[in-house]
Amino acid sequence: MQTHEIRRRFLAHFENAGHTPVPSASLILDDPTLLFVNAGMVQFKPYFLGDAPAPWKTATSIQKCVRTGDIENVGHTTRHNTFFQMAGNFSFGDYFKEGAIRHAWTLVTGSQDDGGYGFDPERIWVTVYDNDDEAERLWQEVAGLPPERIQRRDGRDNYWDMGVPGPGGPCSEIYYDRGPEFGIEGGPVADEDRYLEIWNLVFMQDVRGEASPKYGAEPIGELPQKNIDTGLGVERVAFLLQGVENVYETDLLRPVIDRTQELTGRRYGVDEADDVRFRVIADHVRTAAMIISDGATPGNEGRGYVLRRLLRRVIRNARILGCTDPVLVDLLGVVRDAMGPSYPELHTSYERIAAAFRTEEESFLATLATGSKIFEGAVAETRAGGGTTIPGASAFALHDTYGFPIDLTLEMASEAGLEVDEGAFRTLMDEQRARAKADAAARKQGGADAHAYREVLERAGLTRFLGYSDLVADSTVVGLIVDGQPAFAAGEGHDVEIILDRTPFYAEGGGQQSDTGRIVGDGFSVEVTDVQSPVPGLVVHKGRVVSGEVVRDAAARAEVDVERRAAVSRSHTATHLVHAGMRRALGDAAAQAGSLNAPGRLRFDFTSPGGAVPATVLTDVEDEVNSVLLGDDEVRPYITSMDEARKLGAIALFGERYGDEVRIVDIGDYSRELCGGTHVGRTGQLGLVKLLSEGSIGSGVRRVEALVGIDAFRFLAREHVLVNQLAEQFRAQPDELPDRIAGVVDRLRTAEKELETIRAREVLSSAGSLVDGAEDVGGIALVAARTPAGVGGGDLRSLAGDVRGRLQARPGVVALFAPDGDKVSFVVATTEGARERGLAAGDLVKAFAPAVNGRGGGKPDLAQGGGSGVAGIDDAIAALRAEVAGAER
C-alpha cells in the first residue's frame, strides 16, 4: 500500500466517523518553545490548554513534523526520521478512551477491501500506563486482546504532558509484531525493533503540577473536559504494509537512495557503514526540502542551523560515498516527485528550494576549505600544549563562525587521534539557544505569567476585535494585570495591562506594529503604548494610568490614535505591493521572510538565494509600485475558506496560523495575500513609495527598506536640497555630479598614496638616528622609541627590521611605538645575539603590553601588537628596559 493511500484511508476513516479534517500546520509556527512543529497536536495546543475554545468537537489531521533530537539516530535504526507525518484524531470533550480504542482498532485491523489497513489482529500488542486498569479492560472488551498481549509501563513510556504544568494523561501505544527474525520474544517491553510502535493514544484527563507524573509525581487534579490526542506514524505503517526492512526503503524515501546509488556508483545493501550514509542522505534531503518549503532558510542559529546541518550532512555523506559533483538539487527533484502528490507546495516552491540548495552547497564547499584550515590550527594548538582534547570553545567557534557541523569536527578530530570537549560545546550551544528562546518569549509576553492571561480568558472569553471598521469603541474592562499578576485596580502612575471585552486596537502581528491611543472612563485615563495577543483570542493593552484609578468591570471608551493607524496601514499596504513587485521581478523564489510595518516606513525581508538584487531591478519595482498608486486601485479585504483561498492563488505567509476561514486582501489585480492586518481603502492614499536600500541579513535572505507617504516626500525633499547644495559647490548641473565627484575622489586617492610613499621614506630614513641613540643595557643595545603619529603597521615593521639590520652583530633589541589617536601599535625585533642571551620578542611584548592596555605576540625574532593606552608608552619602555636588564647573561 502506497504512503499516499495510507494517508487517504486515515482521513477517510475519521471523516466517515464525523471528524472535521484540518490541514497540516506549517512546520514553522510562532512558538518560542519550538524550533519546528514536532507532534500532531501542536496546532491544537491552544484548545488543550484552554487558551481558546475548540472550533470542533472532533478533528483529524496529517501533520508535518520534524524532530531534531533524532538526527543522531537517523540511518542507524529502522524507525527514526527527522521529518515524518503524524496522522491523528482529536476529541475535545466528546468521546474518550473507549471511542479512541474503537476507532484505532477498526482502522488498524479492518480489511483493506473495507478501507482499513488489514493488520493481523493476532500480531497486535498494546501497552498501557501502569495504573490504567480502565484502558486494559477496554482493550480486552473492545478489541478482544488477550491479557498476555497487553503490557504495563511506567510514566516515562506511557504518560504524556507538555513538559509544563497543565493538561496530561496516560497513554496507550499500539505495536505490531514483525516476527522472530527481527528480535526476541516478550512484547514491546523486551524489544522495540521487533515489536514496532505504530500508534499512540493519549487520554488527557489530568492536571499536572510542577512535577510530572512521567517521573512518579501525582496529578494535582482532573480536567473538567476529557480530551483525546492520538498520533499514528505514517512512515512506520508504510514500511510494515510495503514489506520492506525499514522506513528508509518505503516508496517516499527509496527513490532518493536509488538516485544516490546512480550518482555515487556505490550500492545500497552491501556495506553497513555505506547503508547508514545512504539513509542519512535520503532522510535529510527530504527534511530540508520540507523545511525550506515552509519558509526557513539555512543559517547559524536556531532552525536555520538545524537546516544547514542537515544539508551539509547530505553533502558530506555523498562525498564520502564518492560523489564530488553537486548533489542537492538533483536529489531535490526526486523528493519533489515522490512527495508532491501529498504536498503540492514542493512543486510550486521548487525553484525557491532549489536556489537555497544550490547556494548552500556552494557555500559548504568554501566552508570545508576555510574551516579545515581553522581546524588544523586548533589541532596544532592542542598538541603544542600537550593536550589530547580540542576545547569546546574551539569547536563552538568552528560551528558558530564558520558553519562547521560538530559531527564533522568530531570525525576529523578522531582521524587526528584527538577528542573534542563535547560537554563544553553543548553547554555553549545550550546557552545560545536559551538566550534566543528567552528573547523570543520576552518579546511575545513581555515577561508576564501566561496563567494570568488564561484566567482572564476563562472568565471573560475572547476579545472581540472591531478595528477593521471602528477606531473608537465603548467597552468594559474585563481584566487588569499589574506586574504580571491579576489585579482589581491600578492607580495613577502604574504600568498596567488592560483586557477589554471588545476593542478597536490592533494587536501587533503579521509584521504590523500595534496601535497606540488611550482608554478613558469615569475618572480615569490610560495611555496605551503597546497592544499584544499573548494567548490566541485575547487582546492585551499595555500602558500607564495617567490619571485616576482604573478598576475591573469599569465601563471604558477605547480610542485609537487615528494618525498612527493611518500611517501604519499605508505601510502595510505598501509592503504587499513591494512583495508583489519583487515576485514579479525575481520569481516565486522571492518569498516573504519577515516584515515590519511602522508609521511611514516599512521593512520587507525576502528569500533571494541568487544574491544581491541589481539596482535596476529595485528601480523597476519602485516604478511599478508607484504606477499602481497612480491607478488608485481598490484595496478589498474579504473572508473566504482556506480551500477557496488556495484556488484563488492567495499568497500565505509561512509560520502563520490559518483557520478554516481566512481573510484575503486584494489590491486591484496586482496583489492577493492572506492577511489579518489593516490597510488603506485605495492605493492612491499611499501617495508615494520610495525604496531606500537593499542588503543581506543572512544566508539567502535580503532586506528592502522603504518610506511611504509624507515620509517618502520629506526624504525626497531633503535629497533635493542636498543635490542642489552639491551642484552649487561643484558648479555643475545635477546630472554632472556623479562624474565630478568620482574625479575628486580619484584625485584624493592618488594624493593619499603619494603622501603614504613620502611618509614611508621619511620614517625609514630615521633608522640611522635611532641606531645612534641606542642605549647599552647590560651589554644589550636597546632601541626603544616613539615614532611620529600615523605610521602604519607595515612601515613600523620595516623600520624595526632596518634598525635591527644596522645593529649588525651586536646583541640588540628594537622596540618601536606608533601612536594613532587614542591607540598605539608596537613592534619588537631582536638580533641573533640577543636571542642567544634568552631575549625573545614575543616574551618581551608580554612584559610591557599591560602598560599600554594592550596585547600582542609573535616569534622570538619579531613580535607585534597594539593597545589603547597611548599615555602609557613611557611606562612600557621602562618595563621593557627592566625586562632586558634582568635577562640571564
For residues 180, 185, 187, 190, the Cα torsion angle rounded to the nearest 10 degrees is -110
Report percent pLDDT > 70 for the chain.
94
- Report pLDDT for 567: 96
**57-84, pLDDT tens digit by residue?**
999 999 999 988 767 778 887 777 899 9
Decide if 676 is inside a domain.
yes
Decide if 272 is inside a domain.
yes
Q: Tell whether 286 and 355 lie within a shared domain.
A: yes
Q: Tell whether 454 and 441 lie within a shared domain.
A: no
- Report pLDDT for 200: 96
- Report pLDDT for 505: 97
Residue 213: DSSP 8-state: G
Average the pLDDT over each of 126-140, 576-590, 757-771, 868-882 and give the range with the smallest value.
757-771
Give the C-alpha separation, 354 to 350, whole Å.
6
Count each helix (H run) and each strand (E run) in the chain, helices first: 26, 35
Decide if 742 is inside a domain.
no
pLDDT at 449 over 80: no
pLDDT tier, 120 (very low <50, low <70, confident <90, very high otherwise): very high
Amino acid of residue 247 = V
SS3 content of the chain, % helix, strand, coil (to 5): 45, 25, 30
Q: Tell whether 130 and 269 lie within a shared domain.
A: no
Question: Last residue of some domain: 245, 261, 296?
Answer: 245
Average the pLDDT over each of 166-180, 236-250, 767-781 and give the range with the smallest value.
767-781
Decide if 745 is inside a domain.
no
**383-416, pLDDT tens digit by residue?**
888 888 999 888 888 877 666 777 778 877 886 8
CA 252 distance to own-chain centroid: 27
Decide if 379 is inside a domain.
no
Residue 133 in contact with residue 263, Cβ under 8 Å?
no
pLDDT at 447 over 50: no
Decide if 491 is inside a domain.
yes
Q: Tell whether 332 and 226 lie within a shared domain.
A: no
pLDDT at 676 over 60: yes
Over 149-211, what HEC string results?
Answer: HEEEECHHHHEEECCCCEEEEEEEEEEEECCHHHCCCCCCCCCCCCEEEEEEEEEEEEEECCC
pLDDT tier, 444 (very low <50, low <70, confident <90, very high otherwise): very low
Give the C-alpha separation, 20 to 26, whole Å.
18
Question: Last residue of some domain: 560, 576, 607?
Answer: 560
- Report pLDDT for 445: 46
Cβ neighbours around 620 below 10 Å, total: 14
CA dist 260 to 279, 420, 724, Å? 10, 31, 63
**220-256, pLDDT tens digit by residue?**
988 888 999 999 999 999 999 999 988 999 999 999 9
**122-158, pLDDT tens digit by residue?**
999 999 999 999 999 999 999 999 999 999 999 999 9
Report percent pLDDT > 90 for the chain.
54
pLDDT at 633 over 70: yes
- Grid coordinates representing 862 are 619579531
Q: Tell whether 30 and 134 lie within a shared domain.
A: yes
Q: Tell whether 221 and 89 lie within a shared domain.
A: yes
Residue 225 in contact with residue 180, Cβ under 8 Å?
no
Averaged over 7-16, what is the pLDDT?
96
**675 is annotated as contributing to ligand binding:** yes
CA dist 683 to 98, 576, 595, 620, Å? 57, 11, 19, 18
More confident residue, 611 or 540: 540
CA pseudo-torsion sign 834, 840, 844, 845: positive
pLDDT at 649 over 50: yes
Averaged over 571-580, what is the pLDDT?
96
Domain range enclosing 834: 754-886
pLDDT tier, 435 (very low <50, low <70, confident <90, very high otherwise): low
**684-695, pLDDT tens digit by residue?**
999 999 999 998
- Report pLDDT for 468: 95
- Report pLDDT for 438: 59
Decide if 738 is inside a domain.
no
Averaged over 822-835, what is the pLDDT?
91
pLDDT at 888 over 80: no
Q: Tell whether 258 and 238 lie within a shared domain.
A: no
Number of domains in the chain: 6
Mean pLDDT for all residues in the chain: 88
Contacts of 146 (CB under 8 A, 6+ apart): 140
- Report pLDDT for 656: 55
pLDDT at 818 over 50: yes
pLDDT at 652 over 90: no
Amino acid of residue 300 = N
- Report pLDDT for 436: 59
The CATH number of whichever domain residue 58 belongs to comes to 3.30.930.10
Contacts of 114 (CB under 8 A, 6+ apart): none
Q: Tell whether 643 and 699 lie within a shared domain.
A: yes
Q: Tell whether 406 and 461 lie within a shared domain.
A: no
- Grid coordinates representing 362 are 556552494
Q: Is residue 435 exposed (0-12), middle (13-18) or buried (19+ Cβ within 10 Å)?
A: exposed
Pairing of strands 489-491, 549-551: antiparallel
CA pseudo-torsion sign 302, 608, 598, 661: negative
Pairing of strands 854-858, 862-867: antiparallel
Q: Tell whether 236 and 124 lie within a shared domain.
A: yes
**572 is annotated as contributing to ligand binding:** yes
Residues facing 545 on adjacent strands: 526
Residue 579 in contact with residue 670, Cβ under 8 Å?
no
Q: Tell whether 605 and 697 lie within a shared domain.
A: yes
Question: Last residue of some domain: 716, 736, 763?
Answer: 716
Averaged over 358-368, what is the pLDDT?
79
CA 814 distance to own-chain centroid: 52
Tracing cell 510514566 back to the chain, one arrives at 155
pLDDT tier, 369 (very low <50, low <70, confident <90, very high otherwise): low
User: Which pTM does this prediction carry?
Assistant: 0.62
**723-769, pLDDT tens digit by residue?**
888 888 888 888 888 888 888 889 998 888 787 667 666 666 777 88
Decide if 740 is inside a domain.
no
Q: Tell whether 149 and 164 lie within a shared domain.
A: yes
CA dist 435 to 31, 33, 394, 431, 445, Å? 15, 12, 20, 6, 15
pLDDT at 482 over 60: yes
CA 392 distance to own-chain centroid: 23
Residue 211: DSSP 8-state: S
